Amino acid sequence: MPLFLFAAIFIPQKEVNNGGVILIFSDKKPKYVKIFNKIFPFFKTIHSKYKYYSLIPVNYYQKPSTYLLKVVYKNSKEFANIKVKWGKYKKEKIKVSKKFVSFNKAVLKRIQREYKEAMAIYNSFDDRVLWRDKFRLPLGVVTSPYGVARVFNGKLKSYHSGIDFRARLNTKIKSVNSGEVVLAKSRYLAGNSVVIYHGRGIYQTLSKEYSL
């Protein structure tokens, strides 16, 4: 099945890495798009020749394969094939205190509670546009990019789902764009955290970590 079947939809990229994003446009007003057994909304475009768009996140653990994407309209459907492949992510060896790789019951319960709280935030969205300009980096020097396999004390524990920047203590950190603060607290694994909502399901999480 080819990638583009109808003129109403346009998908710029035929392939996407795990951990990446699928961008899809449509000239007609869709009800939703479905892929990976999940449903994603469409929004009106701001600066584009197409009328509607959807951003579909691809899970870091999504198995490489070809997946059927279905766009559902009021009285019709359109289909396309999306190929997911492994991204070329590097490994990063980190030595940390045992308390960050081995958890007692109380700490594990806290981690699970904070994860559930975060997922409830990230999985909610609305149609508002809260950003006012182009998105920008909060700092300049990247020390650890997105997607790196994190090897803590010799064992693979996780994959980096953010970007680390270097800065001196007390450096002021700017948000990537305007938005609303929806969470501000100290979390066990993420440290001092601020989550900012920019609208249409786009979130930014700022976490402060210390290293010597």
pLDDT in tens, 41-67: 999 998 778 899 999 999 988 999 999
pLDDT tier at 1 (50, 70, 90 boundaries)?
A: very low
Burial class (CB within 10 angstroms; exposed 0-12, middle 13-18, buried 19+) of 207: middle
Which position has the token pair 């010799």?
A: 154
Same domain, 169 and 130: yes
Q: What is the pTM of this model?
A: 0.81
With a pLDDT cut of 70, the percent of the chain lying above it is: 95
Same domain, 104 and 201: yes
Average pLDDT score over the chain: 88
Q: Which residues pair with 84 in a beta bridge?
A: 16, 65
22 in a structural domain: yes
Same domain, 29 and 67: yes
**What pLDDT, on a 0 to 100 scale, did the predictor assign at position 144?**
86
Return the number of other C-beta atoms located less than 10 Å from residue 8's C-beta: 19
Q: Is the pLDDT of residue 22 over 70?
A: yes
pLDDT tier at 5 (50, 70, 90 boundaries)?
A: very low
Q: Name the residue range of residue 95's domain.
A: 91-208
Domain end (from 26, 51, 85):
85
Higher-scoring residue by pLDDT: 114, 92: 114
Apex CA 121: angle with CA 197 and CA 137, to 5°? 35
pLDDT in tens, 143-177: 888 888 888 887 777 788 888 898 888 888 889 99
Whole-angstrom distance, CA of residue 41 vs CA of residue 125: 10
Domain end (from 46, 62, 85):
85
1 in a structural domain: no
30 in a structural domain: yes
Same domain, 186 and 169: yes
Return the number of other C-beta atoms located less than 10 Å from residue 59's C-beta: 12
Q: CB–CB of 195/121 below 8 Å? A: yes
